[in-house]
Amino acid sequence: MENSYYKGLEPFWGEWYIDKLIGEGSFGKVFRIIRNTSSGQEEAALKAITIPQNNSEYSEMLSYESDEHTVNAYFKDAVMNLNKETLLMAALRGNKNIVEYQDHVVNEHKNEVGWDILIRMELLTSLTNLLRERNLKRDEVVKLGIDICNALTVCQKYGIIHRDIKPANIFIDKNGNYKLGDFGVSRAMEKTQGFMSKKGTYSFMAPEVYKGESYGVAADIYSLGMVMYFLMNARKIPFQPFESKGLSFRVREECLNRRMSGERIPAPTFADKALAEIILKACDFNQENRYHSAKEMADDLSKLIIINQKQDEQTWESSHIESCKENRPEAQSVSTENIDNLNVVQEKHEGQIKSGELVNREEPEKPEEIIDYDSDSDRTIAMFETLPLSHNSDVKSQDQYTKPVEKVTDTVIENKTEIAHGFGNKIEDKTPKSDPAPKKMKKVIFGILIAIAVLIIAAGLFIKFSGNAISKYEHAMEYYLEGDYTKAKELFEKAAEDGNTDSMYWLGLMYHDGEGVSQDYAKAKEWYEKAAEGGYVGAMNNLGDMYRNGEGVSQDYVKAKEWYEKAAEGGSTSGMFNLGDMYHDGEGVSQDYAKAKEWFEKAAEGGYAGAMNNLGVMYQNGEGVSQDYAKAKEWYEKSAESGTADSMYNLGVLYALGEGVSQDYTKAKEWFEKAAEGGYAGAMFRLGGMYAFGEGVDQDYLKAKEWYEKAAEGGNTYAMNNLGVMYENGDGVSQDYAKAKEWYEKAVEGGSTAGMCNLGDMYEYGEGVDQDYLKAKEWYEKAAEAGETNAMNNLGIIYENGLGVEKDAAKAKEWYEKAREAGT
């Protein structure tokens, strides 16, 4: 039904008016509604459902049942089934962990068969909106589990099975309480048989529900466990590869089949042992092995909070005693040079690169607490939200979204300094916002006995009818996640015609990335602008990206900054982050570390993990602040809690170099391994270096080669160069100059100056190639132009000794001086 139709029904309850559409899904649409009172403006959510939705739906049903009386009775029964959901919410009212019902009315059409069901309820922030912006921290996931267990305990008391627990049906109020909503597929507890259809979401569905077998309370416990698993596993379902960019239909089906066949689920990657045990018990394939009640699960989760409180007290006490003994020592000073690649090339470059790299990628991670940025922000309530893939939610290569921060150089191995990684991708965002709790409205009291009676009578027909009214947007998202972009685009377009800003945004995204369509920046911009007009902050942020990167438009930092500012004003932490990035790099503005820090801090306050990481980088490098390794470590740790691989890598660097901490290769290796699990190629390179040089581990060239190869697959040019060194020197492999040259050339394609220098070496010394001083000189010159100091030194040697050129003491001296000035 068109939005204008519902506008024609105003005012609702005599005083409420539609402000805007904020969601649509099963059965109908959700609007933000407002009313003006003497004390100010109040807001609520209106769930509007029309049955049948249009004449074509009625005609379609009539084609199955030629008897109009039967068809009319069918739709009337459907109204009863939907009314059941309202009665159910009314019966459960008063529980702080269940979405609060306020009022409802059913209006029958006068001149045709049809009904409008209008339900008013509290306006809340959905978990899916929050997940667009960041991951939940461990303690937040524990609280979510306890809160939803409390909701399920109430449901169990009244014999109700929710049967569709998923992030889209979990909400957060301004006090940080998690609430369960959408009882659209809930039903009275009874023995279910094969006639039951599989209602619910497969990614979180219990095996017994999926198979159409008998099920009970354990099915809800399983689904809650899967939600917690998802949140503690970097938002990936069991068996989903960490390196996968999204969830294709094939991968999803494979993961689903493995889970439904009873294969043991691995522990969630970022859960500690105690939490993992609770999650895995809830998700046990065998119903009998799961928790027998939600209360039992809540009790176990509550113990984790008590344990953490005791640990926090002990940590505070010990740290307080230490701080009383002496002040924190000042951080040691380091070289002002940015040293990113340690290459044992002095005269003949026979060693390997040992340090990390300066790479600039961030994940979209996000507010530590739910903040009500403004009363007009987009919010959705239960029943109408689906979890989308966030644009650039998987880390993309830097050159897709941003220019390199600075060129990477290679220096001799004696100078063992390393720059932390930070500052990069511009990530779209739809910032979640929470709402003030609405004032109490008049309440219609329904008897619990009536509610249960209606539930039992209507259960079967409700299941049958529910599939007829799935929203265009939700259908589109289902097709999108399955990789059917053609059908997704078709439905997004239809939903966009109805004014759905989410669909406008996703159409822009499809054209921006060329998913299912030819990449078309002009169309992407057009759809982003439409979504931005509707207040969609993610679209504003992406428009900023397009102007910043010159995608389909002339590069324009001024316009980019304007769009980022609009996004930031709307509460977008990505917009705040990108403004910080522009001030940090001096893009379109004068470089200003103070303003960069200010914007990063605002984004970090909102929970944006990438901003936390970059604050760590600023403190580690002393950019606009006094160099402070302790603060750098604090920021990296906060960011790492959200699963950011960049920060895990940077923590590994601190421990490997002993910056602000005692040098500890064991801890460095642990952090590098965590970052590598998250797909970060730089960490794989560092692990290869640890095995190659025996840092904290026994020297093992085979393991070094394995890690270098993994890093090289991820595009790490340092790893490519070091594989060349291994083949050139025969370290752990048979000496093979052809393979060495091949790896050096691959590294050079990625811009490696070490690779250029090492190719120069091969031609200078005739290793695997005919000795050719002119080609050696050419490679050294390319490397020197890119800032490679060893190449500068080697050019001095060539001119001093007349290797392929006339002896020239002046030129030799010139190159030696350049190398010395650069630090060789």
Q: pLDDT tens digit string along 190-214? A: 322 222 334 445 789 899 888 878 7
Does residue 364 have a cis peptide bond before it, meaning omega lies within 30 degrees of 0? no
Which two three-digit tokens encode residue 659? 């910056």
State residue 451's pLDDT score: 52
Cα–Cα nearest to 287, from 210, 230, 232, 231: 210
User: Does a structural domain hold residue 160?
Assistant: yes
User: Does a structural domain hold residue 598?
Assistant: no
Which two three-digit tokens encode residue 312? 């926090």
Q: Are residues 76 and 151 in the same domain?
A: no
CA angle, residues 585, 589, 590, in degrees to nearest 5: 75
Q: What is the 3-state secondary structure (H, E, C) of 284-344?
A: CCCHHHCCCCHHHHHHHHHHHHHHHHHHHHHHHHHHHHHHHHCCCCCCCCCCCCCCCCECC
Final residue of a structural domain among 470, 485, 517: 470
Evaluate whether 699 touches 329 at the Cβ level (below 8 Å): no
Q: Are residues 184 and 288 in the same domain?
A: yes
Evaluate whether 764 touches 803 at the Cβ level (below 8 Å): yes
| 668, containing H or E segment | helix 665-677
CA distance 304 to 145: 11
**Within a 10 A sphere around the Cβ of 810, how many other Cβ atoms?**
7
Q: Are residues 117 and 130 in the same domain?
A: no
| Amino acid type, 123 | L
Q: Are residues 70 and 145 in the same domain?
A: no
The single-letter DSSP state of residue 421 is P
Q: Are residues 129 and 250 in the same domain?
A: yes
Which residues lie across from 211 on neighbouring strands? none
Question: Phi/psi at 525 (nearest 5 deg)?
Answer: -60, -40
State residue 247's pLDDT score: 56
pLDDT > 90 fraction of the chain, expressed in percent and rounded: 45
Looking at the predicted structure, is the pLDDT value of residue 726 above 60?
yes
Question: Phi/psi at 180 (nearest 5 deg)?
Answer: -95, 130
Q: pLDDT category, 9, cuts 50, 70, 90?
A: confident
Q: Are residues 160 and 150 in the same domain?
A: yes
**Within a 10 A sphere around the Cβ of 110, how many other Cβ atoms?**
6
Final residue of a structural domain among 287, 304, 321: 304
CA distance 534 to 521: 20
State residue 76's pLDDT score: 78
CA distance 493 to 251: 27
User: Does a structural domain hold residue 313?
Assistant: no
| Amino acid type, 323 | S
Q: Are residues 50 and 152 in the same domain?
A: no
User: Does a structural domain hold residue 188?
Assistant: yes
Q: Are residues 462 and 494 in the same domain?
A: no
Q: Are residues 96 and 147 in the same domain?
A: no
Number of domains in the chain: 4
State residue 698's pLDDT score: 95
- Kind of pairing, strands 170-172 and 125-126? antiparallel
pLDDT for 518-547, tens place per residue? 999 999 999 999 999 999 999 999 999 999
Evaluate whether 127 touches 168 at the Cβ level (below 8 Å): yes
Which two three-digit tokens encode residue 778? 């050419």
User: Does a structural domain hold residue 252?
Assistant: yes
Mean pLDDT, to the nearest integer, of 721-736?
Answer: 94
CA angle, residues 590, 593, 594, in degrees to nearest 5: 105
3-state DSSP helix/strand/coil % of the chain, to nearest 5: 55, 10, 40
State residue 65's pLDDT score: 58
pTM above 0.75, yes or no: no
Evaluate whether 679 touches 359 at the Cβ level (below 8 Å): no
Which two three-digit tokens encode residue 201? 């979401």
Q: Indicate the SS3 state at residue 710.
A: helix
Domain hosting residue 7, numbered range: 3-123+438-470
Which carries the bigger pLDDT value, residue 614 or residue 153?
A: 614
Which residues make Cβ contacts (< 8 Å) with residue 719, sequence separation at least 6? 681, 684, 685, 688, 707, 708, 709, 710, 711, 712
User: Does a structural domain hold residue 636?
Assistant: yes
Average model confidence (pLDDT) for the chain? 77
Which carries the bigger pLDDT value, residue 343 or residue 785?
A: 785
Which two three-digit tokens encode residue 716? 């790490």
Burial class from Cβ neighbours inside 10 Å (0-12, 13-18, 19+) for residue 409 reads buried
| 15, containing H or E segment | none
Looking at the predicted structure, is the pLDDT value of residue 685 above 60?
yes
Of 232-236, 388-392, 690-694, 708-712, the range with the lowest mean pLDDT is 388-392
Of 157-171, 435-449, 567-581, 705-719, the range with the lowest mean pLDDT is 435-449
Contacts by 303-311, CB closer than 8 A, 24 or more apart: 304/142, 304/274, 304/275, 304/278, 305/139, 305/142, 305/143, 305/146, 307/274, 308/139
**Within a 10 A sphere around the Cβ of 809, how many other Cβ atoms?**
9
Q: pLDDT category, 189, cuts 50, 70, 90?
A: very low
List the beta strands (DSSP E) in 74-233.
Answer: 101-108, 115-121, 125-126, 160-161, 170-172, 178-180, 187-188
Terminal-residue alpha carbon distance, the chain: 73
User: Does a structural domain hold residue 255?
Assistant: yes
User: Does a structural domain hold residue 235?
Assistant: yes
Q: Are residues 134 and 51 in the same domain?
A: no
Q: Are residues 634 and 485 in the same domain?
A: no
Q: In CATH, what number is assigned to the domain containing residue 254? A: 1.10.510.10
State residue 101's pLDDT score: 78
Mean pLDDT, to the nearest integer, of 221-237?
Answer: 92
| 20, containing H or E segment | strand 17-25
Q: Are residues 146 and 292 in the same domain?
A: yes
